[in-house]
Structures are given as C-alpha cells and as structure tokens.
Structure 1
Amino acid sequence: MQAIWTKDVRLDQLTAKDCEMVRQWRNAEHIRQHMFYQEVITPEAQKSWFDSLRPEADFYYVITADKPIGLIHVKDLQNGIGNAGLFIHDQSYWGTPFPVLASMTLLTAFFSRSDVHTMVASVRPENTISKEYNEQLGFHSIAVDKMVLDKSSFYKNVETSSLLQILCKANPVVSIATDVQDRTTYDARSVPMEVVLHRIG
C-alpha cells in the first residue's frame, strides 16, 4: 500500500527523500526521550536502516494533515502479527484528533487483510500517555512494556467507542491505493461502519 487516506489525514509510504526529515524528527529530544533506542541517529545509520526495510514486512508512512506531522508504521509483519507504532513530531498536533485518525486509518487498512489478525505495540513503562493512547484504540497490556490488539477487539472497539464513532463519521471515506490507477473507496455514509471496516483492502 503506497498511500492510505481519509478526508483529513493521509499516510504516504516512506521514501528515500523523506529519510532526512524523519531522521531530524526522530532525533528531536521530545521524540527521542520516549523511544527504546535513544541514541542520536546519524545520516549513515538512517540510510542503512531505510535500506534494510523489507517491502513484504516493514511498512512506514509519513502522516500528513495540512503538512507532514509524523511517522506511523507496521513492522516485522509475519504470521499475521505486526508491530505497530507512531510518533507525532509537530507538537501543535498533540492532543488533536489527527494521531487517532492516523492510527485508525492504518489499523483499518491492515486488519482488512485476511492474513493479518494481531498488532503488538511496545511502550516504555514510564510512558503513561502512550499507554493510555493505545488503550483508547483497544490495545491491552500483556507485559510491562508490551500491548496487544487483535482484529475482533479492534472492530468491537470501533463500534462501541463514542470517540472513535465521532471520528469515523467525520472522516467517512477511506481510500487505499497501491498505485495511481488502483484505488478502492468505501463511503461510511451509505454503508454500515462494520461493513466498511471489514471490506476495505
């Protein structure tokens, strides 16, 4: 999937030209302090990391609202299980709907795949904000630094969470494009949400 988007947020597949921007984001103190790996990343290390990404298992997307604001990913996808995460570099977007919209868009896209059933998130024990954020999406803790979300729980959470219902209704169209010509769109205004969530892909 090269791009995934709703009315208000777009996820574009990470490219080589994005790497320096993302490296600077990742090295910012307000981002780095929440990561498991906290060393400053050099341009050489960033290039090596980007070159090591596997197209069948590692999916990184730049989050764009009215401008690029962060990075979101599903990595190490194998046997139906992926590791999900994101960071929002632009602090003016913290506490806004955009991080949740980005997460919902990504999770909807990947859980629509028949071969994906579980997402795992790694969270530093002291990062209570990230833990609460993941719980809002439906994740639950299985270890002091690890949380998990399965497909059925995700769908149930979307159907029962008033906040997620509001966000989904405000952003009814989700499109997934593998290239410019190949685009599938579903409209939640005319199709029940649970059908949309199960059919996108």
Structure 2
Amino acid sequence: MTGTVSAQQRVRPMTYEDLERVLAWRNHEEVRRYMYTQHEISLIEHSRWFERASQDSSRHLLVFESNAVPLGFINLHQIAPGGVADWGFYVAPDAPRGTGRLLGHAVLQHAFAHLALHKLCGQALRFNTRSIKFHQRLGFQQEGILREQHFDGQSYHDVVCFGLLASEWQSNL
C-alpha cells in the first residue's frame, strides 16, 4: 500500500461517546503491557484525563475508523513551535490484521496534510519490537535511544526514539 488513504479509512476527533470503547482498548492486556503506565485505568480516571486533554489546544485526540468502524486511538501532542509533535496510538485488540498500517497512513496524512506538521516524533519501549518495526515501515528514522529511561516498577527499559519529517513523508507517497 502506498501512503494514500482511501475513503474507507479516516481519523476523526474522539468524543465522549468513544470513552468506554477507547478505555477498553487501553486496558486490554496486549495494549497495556506496552504503555508507560500499566495499571488498569478506571472510567473516572479516563474521563478526567479526556476532559483535561480535550481542553488542551496542543492535543489532538483522534479515533481511526475503517468502513465507519472505530478501530484505533491516536494522541497527537504538539511539543514545540514550528509544528513538531509527539504521537501515541493503539489499535483495538480485536482489529483485523493490517489495521495498524492503515491507521499509520491515515494519521500521517492527517498530521502532515491537514495539521501541516513539520515533524512527528514517536517512542517505543525497546522490547516492543512490533512498534519499532511499525515506525520503520512508515518511514520514521531512529533518532536515539534513551537508556534505561522508563521504570515499570520492577525494572528499567530503554526507550527508542523516532522522527519523521513532512518532506520524508511526501517522498514516500
């Protein structure tokens, strides 16, 4: 698949109606184990987070849909002037194979074409090899490793940092 996004795939703003679904995805063991915070999040905690994050103009909370079915969550957070943003994401645990790739292309289209970002940054815990390969397949460049940056309560883990420039994304279309 090229970098184009079909009409069947899109990202849209997250709404209150999405709260319970996104929370269920986030709390699923296969998603939670790769997050910086690994405890099960309560609906109250999730609702408070959503309320705060929704009021932050530097954040874009998005839901990825394929054929009008919600299949993933994306958090874009502008972290520096000039259009530099971090992203975090996860796919529904029961999403069909290939959903991550579709989500990635839809988000990159949104970030660079719609939001006019200059650079998108991502991070993955070193043991999350799927996420590392995913970033690389989307064209992200590894920009560094934060050694033993994350402590999960039992051990320290390296964090792999990635970046993708708008010009690099354009050349992959």
Per the TM superposition, whether the score is higher than 0.5 is yes
**Is the Cα–Cα contact under 8 Å of residues 57 and 78 in structure 1 kept in the other structure?**
no
> How far off is 1:12 after superposition?
2.0
> How far off is 1:125 after superposition?
0.7
Counterpart for residue 21 of structure 1: 21
CA separation in 2, counterparts of 1:151 and 1:140?
12
Counterpart for residue 94 of structure 2: 91
CA RMSD of aligned residues (A): 1.9
Which secondary structure does the structure 2 equivalent of 1:138 belong to? Answer: coil
Counterpart for residue 150 of structure 1: 165
CA separation in 2, counterparts of 1:147 and 1:68?
26
Which secondary structure does the structure 1 equivalent of 2:125 belong to? Answer: coil
User: Which range is displaced more, 76-85 or 121-130?
Assistant: 76-85
| Correspondence list, 1:78-117, <5 A | 78-79=80-81, 80-94=83-97, 96=98, 98-112=99-113, 116-117=117-118
Task: Say if 1:114 and 1:87 are closer, same or farther in 2 by CA, change over 3 A.
Answer: closer
Counterpart for residue 65 of structure 1: 66
Task: Say if 1:104 and 1:77 are closer, same or farther in 2 by CA, change over 3 A.
Answer: farther
**Is the Cα–Cα contact under 8 Å of residues 31 and 93 in structure 2 kept in the other structure?**
no
> How far off is 1:91 after superposition?
3.2
56, 73, 76: which is aligned to 1:74? 76
Residue identity opposite 1:132 in structure 2: K
Aligned length: 152
> How far off is 1:73 after superposition?
2.6
> How far off is 1:143 after superposition?
2.0
Higher strand share: 2
User: Any stretches of 5+ residues in structure 1 without a counterpart?
Assistant: 159-201
Task: Say if 1:48 and 1:114 are closer, same or farther in 2 by CA, change over 3 A.
Answer: closer
CA separation in 1, counterparts of 2:111 and 2:71?
21
| Correspondence list, 1:120-199, <5 A | 120-144=121-145, 145-158=160-173
**Is the Cα–Cα contact under 8 Å of residues 70 and 90 in structure 1 kept in the other structure?**
no
Moved over 3 A (4+): none
Task: Say if 1:14 and 1:92 are closer, same or farther in 2 by CA, change over 3 A.
Answer: closer
TM-score (norm 1): 0.69
